[in-house]
Structure 1
């Protein structure tokens, strides 16, 4: 709720889970006890650019035990002598005031706790599910590759079996041809052909003998 001309936070609803509240550049000058009642688990509060003038105005924030970071930039209270020491003494639960701790060490850019919550929210919103889907897709790809390799092995086995079957068929055909030749010889026509060939051989032999006598 930045720069919306707020005069107070009296109408703030009950927000037990709220951790970070941005109220900068408004016109709030007091009434911070409402924050302790409505937002008891605040860890970060930004009141910079408001009309806070006195340290005592911040006293109700003592009831926020988890408040670790408070911003009061451009508030008149920051012009007081010993301002930082007084605020840290009043609110001992604070770690950072205006972006620096009590030893003037600057606060990190991001809060680990808040980042953890953001990751949790992303997972709940479905981003974590996308990562799971990617892993499932990778597993499916591996299964498809395995299936293709199994199919290739099956095809090679079938080709080998086909080769064996072809050889057996060739052998069977050769055997059938031999049987047919034997059958022809046993057949009467085959026997006649065999006899005619024998007669022709005898005639040729007689002709040769006559030639020799001449």
Structure 2
């Protein structure tokens, strides 16, 4: 009996891909079939970009620490509309203006959360940005 892998991907709520190194700095193997994914960890994956991140409408927590990301964060606002926690520590972010696209991140209309926290650590100093509405 053959299994429909797409069915099983829809059941996944948490996915940890830490240390699964990317040869070209891109996200590989992640698709929109993970439509119920709420937590994704890609720590130390050698990512240069999140440009090819699929639409993950239920994603709430994203761990991207210890990669080589330096920009292109606008895709997160478009593809992860319910994101409430983002860890970008240990990346190549040199200027706070790189985070400007994240300002429009807000929990979805039906969310019980009233704020979004973005955790960022640059050069061993922690910065917490809290946007409350």
Instruction: For residue 68 of structure 1, report the CA deviation from its aligned partner.
Output: 2.2
Deviating beyond 6 angstroms after TM superposition, the runs of 4 or more aligned structure 1 residues are none
Which has the larger helix fraction? Answer: 1
Summarize deviations over 1:142-186 as a string: whole Å, max 9, x none.
xxxxxxxxxxxxxxxxxxxxxxxxxxxxxxxxxxxxxxxxxxxxx
Aligned residue in 2 for 1:27: 68
List alignment gaps of at least 5 residues for structure 2: 1-41, 108-114
Instruction: Please tell me whether Structure 1 or Structure 2 has the larger radius of gyration of its CA atoms.
Output: 1
For residue 132 of structure 2, the aligned residue among 80, 90, 93 is 93
Which has the larger strand fraction? Answer: 2
List alignment gaps of at least 5 residues for structure 1: 95-214
Measured in 1, the distance between the counterparts of 2:67 and 2:76 equals 16
Q: What CA RMSD, in Å, does the superposition of the two structures yield over aligned residues?
A: 2.4
Measured in 2, the distance between the counterparts of 1:57 and 1:77 equals 18
Measured in 2, the distance between the counterparts of 1:37 and 1:70 equals 16
Measured in 1, the distance between the counterparts of 2:118 and 2:131 equals 12
Instruction: For residue 62 of structure 1, report the CA deviation from its aligned partner.
Output: 0.9
Alignment of 1:71 with 2:115, yes or no, is no
TM-score, scaled relative to structure 2: 0.57
Q: Secondary structure at the match of 2:118?
A: strand
Alignment of 1:16 with 2:57, yes or no, is yes
